[in-house]
């Protein structure tokens, strides 16, 4: 859950960073600077910089690709997104995928961390964009993934 937007303490910051509430912390700590969005050691960070901040980040590989061959049946051809980098939050994540563009692919599960996409018919070079929303507690972040399948004959 993000840090409070009202009264905030360094214990709130520790908890958002996944540390125990009584852990040693200082305003020049690199994790505190990252959470505050203030770079450069020596630049002053205030508690205002830390209000309402979340440590939850998600980064999926930019693309999921698959190649189907001349003898393959297109309905079984798939692409899978790579392993995402997810950090922060409370360690429990849920996923929700939504089509942003295109209409050719079917997703194996709209709630999976790493779903497969299937071509419903042979369409060489078809590309779609899908958006994943990752939620941890009351915090959500999104990332877009380009999904494409290409036809290869041999």
Would 144 be classed as within a structural domain? Answer: yes
pTM over 0.75: no
Q: Does residue 146 share a domain with residue 79?
A: yes
Give the CATH number of the domain where residue 61 resides: 2.60.40.1080
- For residues 88 and 46, state if they share a domain: no
**Number of domains into which the chain is organized:** 2
Reported as a single tens digit per residue, the pLDDT across 99-132 is 999 888 888 899 999 888 877 666 666 788 999 9
Query: Do 95 and 129 reside in the same domain of the chain?
Result: yes
Backbone angles phi, psi at 21, to 5 degrees: -65, -25
CA separation for the pair 99, 41 (Å, rounded): 41
Sign of the dihedral defined by the CA atoms of residues 136, 142, 143, 149, in that order: positive
64 three-class SS: strand
Residue written as tokens 């409370």? 90
Question: Is pLDDT at 76 greater than 50 in this prediction?
Answer: no
68 shares a domain with 20: no
Please indicate, yes or no, whether residues 30 and 93 belong to a single structural domain of this protein. Answer: no
| Cα–Cα distance measured from residue 17 to residue 42, given in angstroms and rounded to the nearest whole number | 21
- For residue 77, pLDDT over 70 is answered with no
Question: How confident is residue 36, by pLDDT bands cut at 50, 70 and 90?
Answer: confident
For residue 7, is pLDDT > 60? yes
Domain limits at 125?
A: 57-152
């Amino acid at each position: 859950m993000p840090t409070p937007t009202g009264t905030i303490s360094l214990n709130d910051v520790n908890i958002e960073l996944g540390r125990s509430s009584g852990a040693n912390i200082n305003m020049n700590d690199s994790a505190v600077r990252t959470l505050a969005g203030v770079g450069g050691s020596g630049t002053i960070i205030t508690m205002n910089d830390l209000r309402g901040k979340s440590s939850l980040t998600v980064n999926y590989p930019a693309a999921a690709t698959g190649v189907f061959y001349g003898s393959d049946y297109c309905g079984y051809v798939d692409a899978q997104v790579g392993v995402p980098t997810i950090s922060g939050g409370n360690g429990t994540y849920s996923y929700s995928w939504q089509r942003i563009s295109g209409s050719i692919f079917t997703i194996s599960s709209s709630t999976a961390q790493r779903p497969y996409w299937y071509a419903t018919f042979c369409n060489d070079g078809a590309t779609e964009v899908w958006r994943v929303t990752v939620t941890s507690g009351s915090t959500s972040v999104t990332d877009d993934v380009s999904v494409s399948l290409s036809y290869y004959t041999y």
